[in-house]
Chain A
């Protein structure tokens, strides 16, 4: 799985999956980062990425942006 992590000038963390499955990206990257940060990390699924939205909904601290 390949992932891009972007730290914005406001200190927000955005996670994009480059190669892999979306819900795995959330489980293994976005959610652990959100726990460390103490704030939501923002996961932006791409149209061509397979997403398990039910799995996403079960993971706290991750805001899924449609």
Chain B
């Protein structure tokens, strides 16, 4: 049985942006609830619960459920030791954080009067230039 690991240093505040980011990295089926029990690769329910869950069948043949649990301040990933060494590794987490950040920026656009001027990929990352009217 692969132990679950909590990644407290990887935090997501915004559930909507997190679910969209998970969709973008290939997990279209995402469960959202209060305390969803995680299930291991043998179909056994584990002690860990999470608010946002990707079921193991969408991850890999020998995978365990992936969860994101609210720690009082943010959602933190709960990933099995097996999956953290395979598909859901550090590189995958980094990509998820990048896509999550893009969705937060998009949400910021929706909630503000910001007008995108241009955008594009650079060596420093994905760049968006905006114009805003602000009261002086």
A interface list, Cβ under 8 A from B: 1-14, 18, 20-21, 24, 28-29, 32-33, 35-39
Contacts and interface: CB of A to CB of B under 8 A. Distances in A.
Interface stretch (B28-36, B37-45, B51-59, B98-106): B98-106
B1 interface: no
A1 B127 CA distance: 17
Interface of B: 11-14, 17, 73-74, 94, 96-98, 100-102, 104-105, 107-108, 111-112, 114, 117, 122, 124-134, 136
B127 A33 contact: no
Q: Rank and list the top 6 A-B pairs by shortest CB-CB distance, nearest first.
A: A38-B13, A11-B97, A8-B125, A36-B104, A11-B98, A7-B126
A11 B100 contact: yes
A2 B104 contact: no
Contacts of A8: 98, 124-125
Contacts of A38: 11-14, 73-74
A2 to B, nearest CB: 5
A7 B102 contact: yes
Nearest to B93: A11
